[in-house]
Structure 1
Amino acid sequence: MPQPNQEKLDAFLGKMVGDLGAIATGAGVVLGDRLGLYTAMREGGKMTAAELAARTGTQERLVREWLSGQAAAGYIEYEEMTDRFYLSPEQELVFADEDSPAFMAGAFEVLSALWLDEEKVSQAFRSGKGVAWHEHSACLFRGTERFFRPGYNANLIESWLPSLDGVIEKLELGAEVADVGCGHGASTILMARAFPRSRFVGFDYHGPSIERARKAAEEAGVSGNTRFEVASAKAYPGTYDLVAFFDCLHDMGDPEGAAAHVHVSLKPDGTWMIVEPFAHDHLSANLNPVGRVYYAASTFVCTPASLSQEVGLGLGAQAGEAKLRQVVTSGGFTRFRRAAETPFNIVLEARP
């Protein structure tokens, strides 16, 4: 066995310290988000630990320890002369502004589910039976909505939908739209607000998510042109001008069966919009920071979810465009193209 190179070992251990710090600080992000500490800092400006504790109804000694850890991570700023802590404008966008396209607190909430559900995933590794979406901790459902919503807010109306041939014109005139795998309905509600003449229905097999989506639609004032129903991707009813799948096709046990159902549910000139996590077709091209996050989520959530269902194809969150093309065309679609992309998503357009 070759002897380790000491310089490389030291560098690798340095990387481990950084990674351990990120993991530990991540728990602090979830805590600060849940207690409203970031929001209070955004509203209150530069604050001592005592001031932040008083503003949030929390315990000063614990708040100071949290602030210190966040400052050590570079997630908040510390002013030594006044012993005060504050958020920079950039940090505010990431941790305290849910409408910001840079908001990331929801991502930490998603990743907390990986730790909470590790035992279930361990069992799935041994049995091969997978872990269904509904079997995960509830923080996954809420965190997923909060993680994806900023990207949808930034891109869906302004760039993704306009990248599809003729879809904006239909939506402005009044179209029938299905949002399949809608979760808490963030994408559905966003489209319904932008196109009040169109009619939207969100489908998801997860009943609690549908209940939350219905409440969200009421709160957003879009109940008049929006409804949510419990149905699977292979059995939802209706005929549509546009069917949308947001970050969910790869989670399905039988995505080819879902593609076939989309095909029969579309009008002859209809469009299927598929939004998926960004990935290249080959592993080596995905060995980067974004791929690192997506492979982790795919290991603990996406692939086990697929394996828990019928067929259990197990595409995973880093399937890539070539595999997705095979899935889509197997359902009967003859036209397929990449319509748009961001560092985190690819947007695919399929036509009958």
Structure 2
Amino acid sequence: MTEVNETALNELVGRVLGDLGGAVSVPLVRIGDALGLYRTLKEIGPVKADELADASGCAPRYVREWLAAQAASGYVHHERGLFSLTPEQAFVFAEPDSPVNLIGAFDTAAAMVENQPKVQSAFKTGRGVAWGDQAGCMFCAVARLFRPGYVNALVQDWLPALDGVADRLKTGAKVADVGCGHGLSTILMAQAFPNSRFVGYDFHPGSIAAASAHAQAHGLTNLHFEVGRAQDFDGRDFDLITCFDCLHDMGDPKAAAAHIRKALKEGGV
């Protein structure tokens, strides 16, 4: 056996074990979210495991094991036989509009694991895996991952940071949201600025269908969604064009940026 540096080996093993601990937490966190365990614990805690099981309609044995694992990870608080969520834990796991809700990150990690065969094949062929070909509901997971940032900063901070843009949107502007995915960013802007008109573009038909359904559910009439690629969508003369968390993932970001620039009216942003 090759001689190794014991200190370096122990440090490496420690890092790997930390990563493995995070990896095995992914399904447990998603179970807790899907079954409403975090939400229920926030509402009724501190409680015993059996009480949480009863309130959530789950089997006590499974809930006890789940709570023990969550407490060991520091995701749930345990004291004197009772389980609860601290305000900080609730911010991360039980409050959808929290700026640090990270459930979507766990969903994204799960989708990446499911996507392994496609990426593994790409290692041999040298070809990429198109966004529309991702395994699982990667699109749902990514939308959920970025939603807290949009909810807490898009209208409040990001748009006002652009000189004159918020005032123009209040008066009435023509806006494109390119690479809109499930349309959460587009919908938030449309809600905040009813005098402006918005169109969301995404090349993935499934995402556009989800975005359209979300807009309809919110009763919004000042926006619509279209299937279109960033480098050749049809719209022109926009006052504002946005790209949120997507330009760096596009197949040809340079062509996309050039087309977006041409689609702006003079003086557009």
Shorter-chain TM-score: which interval?
A: over 0.9
Aligned pairs (5 A) from 1:255-266:
255-266=253-264
Q: Which residue of 2 aligns with 1:164?
A: 162
Partner of 2:12: 12
Letter matched to residue 224 of structure 2: R
Deviation readout 1:12-60 (Å, 9 max, x if unpaired):
2222222211111122111211121111111222122222222222211
Give the structure-1-normalised TM-score. 0.73
Q: Per the alignment, in what secondary structure is the counterpart of residue 178 of structure 1?
A: strand
Q: Is the 8 A contact 1:33 1:105 kept in 2?
A: yes
State the percentage of identical aligned residues: 49
Could you tell me how far apart the structure 1 residues matched to 2:134 and 2:35 are? Answer: 23
Residue aligned with 1:170, SS: helix
Q: Which amino acid aligns with 2:230?
A: A
Decide which of 223, 226, 237 is 1:226's aligned counterpart: 223
Match of 1:107 among 94, 105, 108: 105
Deviation sequence 1:186-225 (CA, Å, 0-9, x none): 1001111111110011111111111111121122232x11
Residue 298 of structure 1 aligns with which residue?
none
> Counterpart of 1:100 in structure 2: which amino acid?
S
CA–CA separation in structure 2 for the residues paired with 1:187 and 1:48: 40
Does the C-alpha gap of structure 1 residues 269 and 181 become closer, same or farther in structure 2, counting only changes over 3 Å? same
Work out the CA distance in 2 between the residues paired with 1:158 and 1:70: 34
- Determine the structure 1 residue equivalent to 2:209: 211
**1:1-352 equivalence runs, <5 A:** 3-79=3-79, 81=80, 83-222=81-220, 224-239=221-236, 240-271=238-269
TM-superposed CA distance for 1:123, in Å, is 0.1
Whole-angstrom CA distance in 2 between matches of 1:43 and 1:10? 42
CA contact (8 A) 2:38 2:93 kept: yes
1:47–1:86 contact (8 Å) kept in structure 2: yes
1:47 counterpart SS class: coil
Residue identity opposite 1:54 in structure 2: D
Work out whether residues 112 and 139 of structure 1, in 8 Å CA contact, stay in contact via their aligned partners in 2.
Answer: no
Structure 2 contact 183–211 (Cα < 8 Å) conserved: yes
Name the CA distance, whole Å, in 2 between partners of 1:116 and 1:133.
Answer: 14
* Aligned residue type for 1:47: V
* 2:267 match: secondary structure: strand
Tell me which amino acid in the other structure corresponds to 1:236. Answer: F
Question: 1 CA distance for matches of 2:161 and 2:4?
Answer: 51
Whole-Å Cα distance in 2 between the matches of residues 3 and 165 of structure 1?
62
Tell me, in whole angstroms, the C-alpha distance in 2 between the residues paired with 1:47 and 1:185: 38
Distance 1:22 1:138 in 2: 20
The SS at the match of 1:177 is strand
Instruction: Give the Cα–Cα distance (whole angstroms) in 1 for the partners of residues 223 and 42 of structure 2.
Output: 34
**Structure 1 CA distance for aligned equivalents of residues 31 and 121 of structure 2:** 28
For the aligned residue pairs, the C-alpha RMSD in angstroms reads 1.5
User: Does the 8 A contact of 1:110 with 1:140 survive in 2?
Assistant: yes
Asked if the contact 1:182/1:202 (under 8 Å) is kept, the reply is yes
Q: If each structure's strand is expressed as a fraction of its own residues, which one has the higher value?
A: 1
Task: Report the residue type matching 1:61 in the other structure.
Answer: R
- The runs of 5 or more residues in structure 1 that have no matched partner are 272-352
For these two proteins, the number of residue pairs brought into alignment is 268
TM-score w.r.t. the length of structure 2 is 0.95
| Shift in Å, 1:2 | 8.1
Structure 2: give runs of 5+ residues left out of the alignment: none
Give the letter for the 1:98 counterpart.
P
- In 2: Cα distance, 1:55 partner to 1:120 partner: 41
Give the SS at the match of 1:22: helix
CA-CA distance at 1:70 after TM superposition: 0.6
Query: What amino acid is the match of 2:46?
Result: K
